[in-house]
Amino acid sequence: PGTGGAPQPATTSGAARIPPWEPLALSPFSMQKAETLLEDRWSCLGCHQLGEGGGRIGPRLDGIAQRLRPEYVRHLVEDPAHLAPGTIMPPSLEQPDRMDLIASYLLLRDAPWTGSERLPGMPALPASGSVTPPDAASATGAGPASGPSSPTAAIPPGPTLGAALYNAQCAACHGVTGEGDGFNAPFMPVAPTVHADSAAMSLRTDDTLYDGIHGGGWILGKSHRMPAFGASLDDAQKRALVAHIRTLCRCQGPYWSRDGRRGR
């Protein structure tokens, strides 16, 4: 299957079940509200294509009602790692009513599913059977198979942690070497930050980098298309990413922001 296809059915069984859920009957106003939030506030289109716009990291969002059950869509927004082990998609930080709104909007849009195309530079797919997601066509059935909840779950701590996290979470847009040339960069309305730019990055404090990783681009007044990874990475992982960005830029933050303490 293509990289943008629906998760493949699982063959295992488990105790976890997804509660039933049906999309809300949205008014024209609510449909427009959801569309505006997708375009101007939420980060979904940083990774997913919708219509002619949006990123190419994850599956496209057109026609999902033809492929996925409503409860699967709603709970994937809330807890993606539980339903799709190995995904880099972070959990949503939105309130439940906002998650109801976005899931309903996507399911109610009248658009066909056309599939996705592989792009130059896109990482290879994992080997078949390496991750067994839950059954997308029968989402109230078996829960996910046991296994890591993210592609970085099995990475040991140490000097390679930051680089491995960066390659998994950041390189699609920022590029493996931090040059802002990842395969997804051309589809962004704002060019990704060039983490290899020593002059620019030396003006940013480590706390600013940490906040951007945790809360996404919107919280820093930057592009809202960069998602917030605060709910999917722990403190040590976020600090490892900050440290790796410092290796890419070969720089430190402003002098006034450094108090000499390390290893916090």
Among 81-90, 139-148, 218-227, the minimum mean pLDDT is found in 139-148
pLDDT tens, position by position, 25-55:
999 999 999 999 999 999 999 999 999 999 9
Structure confidence at residue 93 (pLDDT): 85
Report CA Rg, the chain: 19
Class of domain 159-257: mainly alpha
What length does the chain have? 264
d(CA 264, CA 256): 18
Phi, psi of 54 (to 5 degrees): 105, 165
Q: Which pLDDT does position 86 carry in this prediction?
A: 87
pLDDT tens sequence across 59-94: 999 999 999 999 999 999 999 998 888 899 999 989
Helix (H) or strand (E) holding 151, with range, is none
Predicted pLDDT at 9: 37
CATH 3.40.50.1580 fits 1-150, yes or no: no
Per-residue pLDDT of 153-212, as tens digits, reads 555 555 689 999 999 999 999 999 999 999 999 999 999 999 999 999 999 999 999 999
**6-21 per-position pLDDT tens digit:** 443 333 333 357 889 9
Domain with CATH 1.10.760.10 in the chain: 1-150, 159-257
Q: What is the pLDDT of residue 114?
A: 74
Side chain identity at residue 80, one-letter code? P
Q: DSSP code of 4?
A: T
> DSSP string of 188-233?
-SSPPP-TT-HHHHTTS-HHHHHHHHHH-SGGGTS-TTSPP-TTTS
Looking at residue 216, what is its pLDDT?
Answer: 94
Q: Cβ distance 93 to 86 under 8 Å?
A: no
Average pLDDT taken over every residue of the chain: 82
CA dihedral 68, 70, 74, 79 (to 10 degrees): -50
Q: State the greatest distance between any 2 C-alpha atoms of the chain, in Å, as a whole number.
A: 57
Of 169, 36, 68, 214, the closest CA to residue 77 belongs to: 68
Q: How confident is the model at residue 124 (pLDDT cuts 50, 70, 90)?
A: low
Cβ(23)–Cβ(104) under 8 Å?
A: yes
Q: Report helix, strand or coil for 257.
A: helix
HEC profile of 36-77? HHHHHCCCHHHCCEECCEECCCCCCCCCHHHCCCHHHHHHHH
Rounded Cα gap, residues 166 and 164, in angstroms: 5
What one-letter code names the amino acid at 118?
Answer: R
